[in-house]
Amino acid sequence: MLLTLCIAIPALTSLLVLLVPRTSPGLVRVLALAGSLVTFLVSLSVLSIFKVGEASFQMIEKVPWVPSIGADWHLGVDGISLFLIVLTTLLTVLCILASWHSIQDRVHEYHFFFMLLEAGMIGVFAALDLFVFYVMWEVMLVPMFFLIGVWGGQRRLYATIKFFLFTMAGSVLMLAGVLYLYFHTIDPETQRNTFNLLHVTAQSSYSIGTQTWLFLAFGLAFAIKVPLFPLHTWLPDAHTEAPTAGSVILAGVLLKMGTYGFLRFCLPIFPEATLEFVPWVSWLSIIGITYGAMVAMVQKDMKKLVAYSSVAHLGFVMIGMFALNQQGLAGSLLQQINHGISTGALFLLVGVVYERRHTRLIADYGGIAKVMPVYAALFMIVALSSIGLPITNGFVGEFLILVGTFASNTLYGVIATSGVILAAVYLLWMYQRVFYGKLIHEANQKLKDITLFEATPIVVLIVLALWIGIYPDPLLVRMEPSLQLVLEKFQQVQLSQLQGVLH
C-alpha cells in the first residue's frame, strides 16, 4: 500500500488544489506543502521498513489494471529505486518551499502540475510493469511542459517544445520496444503475454541482433533523458528557461530517469548488447564530461553554467555504470543521488540572487560576498560538494566511479579523471567572479543576504551532502545487493562466452 500511497497522495493533492477558490492562493501553497510532506513521510517509512541485504524487490503490490492485455498495477522497490524515490519526495517538498514567494502568477495551476509531476516521477521509479512504467514516463512530460512553458523565462516556448519533442521522439521508439518484449514474455500463471517486468527480465533470452535493436529502442529514450552527448541540446535550453523549482526537479529527478532506465532495463534485459555498446557509451560519456565542462566554463549565465555542468556530471554517472563492475555501478547510483542534491542546491542558490536582481549574468555580480556573507558561505559548500571535495557526497560518488572505470579500462579512467579538474575550474572561477573582487555594480550594494526561509531547503541539502560524504554506508549497503544482481547477469554472459571460446 505504501508505494501506491506515494503516488496517490500527490495525485489527489493535485486534484484538491483545483477545488480551492481562486481567491486564496495561500491555501494552495499550504495544501501542496502538506501533500508533499505527507508523501515524503510515507517514503521515509518505505525507507525504514526496507530490508537491508535483500537484492530482489520488496513491498510488492499487484492489482489487475487492464486484464485483457495483461497489464497490472504492479509496484515494488529495490536498492536501485529506493533512494531515487526518497530523493524525489524530498526535492518536491523543497521545491514547493522554494516556489513559495517566487511563484505569484497562476498559483493553482502551478501546484496542480507540480503535484502531478511528483506522482508521475514516483510512478516511474516504482513501476514493475512495463505498461505502468510507460504510462508514468509519458504522464510526467505534460506537467513539465507546462511548468517550463508557463512559468519559464524569455525563450520558454522554444525550450519547452524542444524538451517535449526530444523526449517524445525517444519514448515512441521505446513503446515499440515495450510491445516487442510484451509479445515475447509469457506469464507462467495465466499463459498469456504480460508486461510484468520480473517475468520480462527473467525470461529474456534474445539473440544478439534482437538485443541490439531493443537496446537502441530503449537506450535512445534513456540517452535523451540522461542526456548523453550529442542528444543533450534540449537540456541547457530547458534548464535555463525553467523556473527555479522546475530546474531543480529537472536536474534532480528527471535526468535520473534516463540513467535509472539504463540500470533497470538495458543492463539486465539486454546484457550482451550492453557489452557491445560499452565503448560507444563510454566514449560519448567522456565527450560529455569534457565537452560539458568546457562549455560550462565559458558560460556568461550562471544557470546555463550549472546546466552544462549537469551534462558533465551525468557523463560520470554513465561511464561508471558502463564500467560494469561493483564499484562503478555503486558509484554511478550514488552519484545520481548526489547530483540531485548538489545540483538541486546550486539551482536553488542561483534562484536566490535571481529573485533579487532578475539577472543571472555573472558579469552583473562581483564582490557580493561582502553584502551576502551567509549566502556566499552556503554557495561555497554546495560548490565544493559539486566539485567532489573529500568529506562531501560528490567525492564518494566520483571516487567509486573512477575506481570502477580504471578497473575496467585505464584509458577511460585517465580521461575521465581529467574531467574532475575541469569541474573545479568552472565552478571556482564562477565563484570567484561572482563573490570576490570589488562591488562594481550599484545595484549590488544593497543586496539583502539570504533569508532563513530561503536558506532552509539549501541547508537541508547541505546536511545530506555532508552526511553522505562522511558516512555513505547506509546508502551503499542498501544499493549493493540489487546492483550485484544486475552484475551477475554479465558474469553469466561473460562465462558463457568464455565457454563458447574454449569449446
**182 counts as binding another protein under rule CB under 8 A:** yes
The sign of the dihedral angle between the CA atoms of 286, 292, 297, 302 is negative
- For the bound state, the minimum distance from the C-beta of residue 110 to another protein, rounded and expressed in Å, comes to 12
Give the Cα separation of 127 and 77 in Å (integer): 8
- For the bound state, the minimum distance from the C-beta of residue 328 to another protein, rounded and expressed in Å, comes to 33
| Candidate ranges 45-53, 133-141, 286-294, 295-303; the one touching another protein (CB under 8 A) | 133-141
Give the Cα separation of 177 and 219 in Å (integer): 10
Number of residues that bind another protein (CB under 8 A): 33
Q: Residue 251: CB partners within 8 Å, gap ≥ 6?
A: 239, 306, 307, 310, 339, 340, 343, 344, 347
What letter represents residue 362's amino acid? I
**176 counts as binding another protein under rule CB under 8 A:** yes
CB-based burial label for 438 (10 Å; 0-12, 13-18, 19+) = exposed
- For the bound state, the minimum distance from the C-beta of residue 284 to another protein, rounded and expressed in Å, comes to 22
Give the Cα separation of 365 and 439 in Å (integer): 8
Cell of 297: 566554463
Contacting residue, 40, 133, 164, 426, with another protein by CB under 8 A: 164
Q: Which is nearer to another protein, 55 or 186 (CB)?
A: 186
Q: Can the peptide bond before residue 268 be classed as cis, meaning omega within 30 degrees of 0?
A: no
Q: Quickly list H helices, 262-372.
A: 267-269, 271-297, 302-321, 326-357
**146 counts as binding another protein under rule CB under 8 A:** yes
| Candidate ranges 172-180, 251-259, 290-298, 494-502; the one touching another protein (CB under 8 A) | 172-180
Q: Which is nearer to another protein, 48 or 191 (CB)?
A: 191
**371 counts as binding another protein under rule CB under 8 A:** no
**135 counts as binding another protein under rule CB under 8 A:** yes
From the list 347, 205, 319, the residue with the least C-alpha distance to 262 is: 319
Q: Which is nearer to another protein, 67 or 230 (CB)?
A: 67
Distance linking the first and last C-alpha atoms of the chain: 51
Contacting residue, 49, 169, 414, 440, with another protein by CB under 8 A: 169
From the list 250, 460, 441, the residue with the least C-alpha distance to 353 is: 441
| Candidate ranges 29-37, 152-160, 401-409, 443-451; the one touching another protein (CB under 8 A) | 152-160
| Candidate ranges 131-139, 342-350, 362-370, 468-476; the one touching another protein (CB under 8 A) | 131-139
Would you tell me which residues interact with another protein (CB under 8 A)? 65-69, 106, 109, 134-135, 138-139, 141-142, 145-146, 149-150, 156-157, 160-161, 164-165, 168-169, 172-173, 175-176, 179-180, 182-183
